Amino acid sequence: MTLPPGYRHRRFAEIGSTNQAAAEAGQAGEPELLVITAGVQTAGRGRRGRDWVSPVGNLYSSVLLRPDVSPAVGAQLSFVAALAVSDLVAEAIPGAPVVACKWPNDVLVNGAKIAGILLESQTDAAGHLAWLVIGAGINVVSHPPNTAYAATSLAACGASVAAEDCLALYLARLDHWRQVWMGQGFAPVRAAWLARAWRLGEVITARLGEKSLGGIFEGLDDAGALLLAGHDGRRHVIAAGEVFAPA
C-alpha cells in the first residue's frame, strides 16, 4: 500500500481504540502523520461517548496531526475528513450513488450512514493544539443492524473493495484536502462540503442536548457552525449538536 509522503502506518490486529492509541502517541511526542489502524476494536468510540461497533472487515483508522492552530480552527478538520471519506465512497461504489456530508461529521449514501468521524485533541500551555487525532470508521463489508437511523456499507452498495484499499484512497484524499485547508484556509473546504451537504436548504431538526430546534438549514458560517433559520423566526448559529430529518 502506498501512503502519501511523510505518513507512517502502524497496524494492529486488535486494539481497544485506534483513537486512544493515536492520542497516547500524541501525548508521548510522536511526530504527526502517524496512521493507526486495527482489524478489530474492542472499545471503539463514536461521538458523545457512544460505542462504535467494530467487526472484522471494516476500516478503523486514526491519524495524528499537530496543526499549530486554536481548537476552534482545528475543528474544521472534521470537514476535511468528511470530504476525504465522501471522495472515497463516491469512487468505490459503482454507478452514481447519492453521497452526502451530514453535519457535523457523518457521511451518508442514499440517506444511510456509511461512516462516522471523531476528532479528539489536547491543547498546549498557549491554548493551541498540542495534537489532534482524526478518527474515521468506515463500513466496508458490514454495517450494524437495527440502528435508530439507517446504516449501510460499501458492500451493501455494490462495492467490492478491501479495507486496506479503502485506507490508501482515504489517506490520499485526506492529505489532498488537508493541504487545501493548510494552504488556502477553510473557505474552499467549506464550499466543497456545502456542495455535498445533506438537506441544505431543507427543513431539519437540530438537537442540542435536551433541546431541539427546527428550521431550514441555510449553510455554514466561516468557522463551520450550522446556520439555521428557525421556525421561531430567529437565525441560530449552532456550533455543536446533531441534526436529523424532521419526524
In SS3 terms, the chain reads as CCCCCCCEEEEEEEECCHHHHHHHHHHCCCCCCEEEEEEEECCCECHHHCECCCCCCCEEEEEEECCCCCHHHHCCHHHHHHHHHHHHHHHHCCCCCCEEEECCCEEEECCEEEEEEEEEEEECCCCCEEEEEEEEEECCCCCCCCCCCCECCCHHHCCCCCHHHHHHHHHHHHHHHHHHHHHHCHHHHHHHHHHCECCCCCEEEEEECCEEEEEEEEEECCCCCEEEEECCCCEEEECCCEEECCC
pLDDT, one tens digit for every residue, the chain (247 residues)? 799 999 999 999 999 999 999 999 999 999 999 999 999 988 766 554 455 566 789 999 999 999 999 999 999 999 999 999 999 999 999 998 999 999 999 999 999 999 999 999 999 999 999 999 999 999 999 998 878 789 999 999 999 999 999 999 999 999 999 999 999 999 999 999 999 999 999 999 999 888 899 999 999 999 999 999 999 999 999 999 999 998 7
Q: What is the pLDDT of residue 148?
A: 77
What's the confidence (pLDDT) of residue 72? 94
Closest CA to 7 of 167, 120, 117, 188: 167
The CATH code for residues 8-195 is 3.30.930.10
pLDDT at 147: 81
Q: Give me the pLDDT at residue 221, please.
A: 97
| Segments of the chain assigned to CATH 3.30.930.10 | 8-195
Starting at the edge strand found earlier in the chain, the sheet holding 226-230 runs 235-238, 226-230, 211-220, 203-208, 242-244
Domain with CATH 2.30.30.100 in the chain: 203-244
pLDDT at 48: 47
Per-residue pLDDT, 56: 82
Record the pTM: 0.94
Instruction: Give the integer Cα–Cα distance in Å for 222 and 97.
Output: 29
Multiple choice CATH, 203-244, 3.40.50.1000, 2.30.110.10, 2.30.30.100, 3.30.1330.20: 2.30.30.100
Q: What is the pLDDT of residue 69?
A: 97
Q: Which pLDDT value is given to residue 50?
A: 53
Q: What is the pLDDT of residue 206?
A: 94
What is the pLDDT, as a whole number, of residue 209?
84
